[in-house]
Amino acid sequence: MRAAPRDNVAMPQILPLDDRSIAIAAEHIRAGRLVAFPTETVYGVGGDATNGEAVAAIFEAKGRPRFNPLIVHVPDMIAARRIGDFDKRAEELASRFWPGPLTLVVRRRADNGISELACTGLDTLAIRMPAHRGARTFLAEANRPLAAPSANRSGKVSPTTAQHVAEELGDAVALILDGGPCEVGLESTVLDMSGEEPVLLRPGGVPLEELEEALGRKIAVAKAGVTVVSPGMLESHYAPGLPLRMNAKKAEAGEALLGFGPAPDATLNLSETGNLREAAANLFAHLRSLDRPDFAAIAVMPIPEQGLGRAINDRLRRAAAPRG
């Protein structure tokens, strides 16, 4: 069932996908705004992956109650190699299946400019080169990697038409590029190539058998709903090594204070003005920089449980939970 348009949500601009609308869309991206665009799988809501606040706006538009790592889209292999480490196997898969509905998770290159929020602080990055010609022209024109999950509200089906996107996201996007209905309608297959063993994280447009044939081996399948634990690796989400204390008014002795809103005593501040988008953009980078042995713990000031604050608090709660 398709969702009815939400009340009081203005309809975004929709333009047929062509050179002119792509130029406008690229301008929006460079200005930090969001653009929905078609790929061969589903419509994506894209933002500059190197701009933390643009990435935060994506989570906000989708109304996701938690942060999950986003797929970063690139127009060509040169752009892909700039942000991710492709070993021989990953190169082979890319040359065989790209452009196309395959997302490869590879190790992230240091200083690749990708916002910590896009990969939720992980050392890995999910990358895809879409087959859709218009999408690739747009990516090349934007001239930066785009974080782009499916352009639906959290918990709803992935949109395959521009009209469907408009109903889902309203004016949270500056522009929708209308390229007609998507061809595949299935999401991309997500294959984790960052560890010793390849692991299928999500089935999708490229069948598992084709990947196994290309790699000449069986591929392990991650169980749905289970946090992926690659052999010998930590859980696949980032949490600081130090204990974390939420809803702190001030720091106790030895604690680092992660501020939100005006806080002269904060060691670092997620957003001095209390802006949730800015706070989301800073969350993982700030946790990482406070996570060092000169502190005994990280105390975090209260974050309102609304909008992006929900996803921020979700992440903090999981970081604060005792680990066994």
Among 38, 46, 69, 205, the residue binding ligand AMP under the rule CB under 6 A is 69
124 part of the interface to ligand AMP, by CB under 6 A: yes
**Could you tell which of ligand AMP, Mg ion, none binds residue 172, using a CB distance below 5 to 8 A set by kind?**
none
150 part of the interface to Mg ion, by CB under 5 A: yes
Give the residue with the Cβ less far from ligand AMP, 159 or 179. 159
> Residue 220 corresponds to which tokens in the numbers above?
């392990």
Q: Could you tell me the sign of the dihedral formed by the alpha carbons of 150, 154, 159, 165, in that order?
A: negative
Q: Which residue is nearest to Mg ion (CB)?
A: 150
Window 207-236: residues binding ligand AMP (CB under 6 A): 236
Which range in 45-53, 68-76, 238-246, 301-309 contacts ligand AMP by CB under 6 A? 68-76
119 part of the interface to ligand AMP, by CB under 6 A: yes
Give the residue with the Cβ less far from ligand AMP, 51 or 150. 150
Q: Find out whether 93 and 77 touch, Cβ atoms under 8 Å.
A: no
Among 12, 149, 204, 240, the residue binding ligand AMP under the rule CB under 6 A is 149
Give me the 257-286 binding string for Mg ion, x by CB under 5 A, dash otherwise: ------------------------------
Minimum Å gap between C-beta 15 and ligand AMP is 23
68 part of the interface to ligand AMP, by CB under 6 A: yes
> Residue 169 corresponds to which tokens in the numbers above?
């996201």
Tell me the C-alpha distance between 130 and 145, whole Å.
12
HSE-CB at 253 with a 13 A cutoff on CA atoms is 0
| Spatial CB neighbours of 7, under 8 Å, sequence gap ≥ 6 | none
CA distances from residue 166 to 62, 133, 156, 160, 172 in whole angstroms, order as listed: 12, 22, 13, 11, 9
Helix axes 19-30 and 133-142, enclosed angle (nearest 10):
40
177 three-state secondary structure: strand
Tell me the C-alpha distance between 61 and 165, whole Å.
11
**Could you tell which of ligand AMP, Mg ion, none binds residue 122, using a CB distance below 5 to 8 A set by kind?**
ligand AMP
DSSP 8-state code for residue 13:
E
Of the candidates 62, 47, 303, which has an alpha carbon nearest to the alpha carbon of residue 175? 47
190 part of the interface to ligand AMP, by CB under 6 A: yes
**Could you tell which of Mg ion, ligand AMP, none binds residue 119, using a CB distance below 5 to 8 A set by kind?**
ligand AMP
Q: Which chain residues interact with ligand AMP by CB under 6 A?
A: 68-71, 105, 119, 122, 124-126, 149-150, 187, 190, 192, 201-202, 236
Binding site residues, Mg ion, CB under 5 A: 150
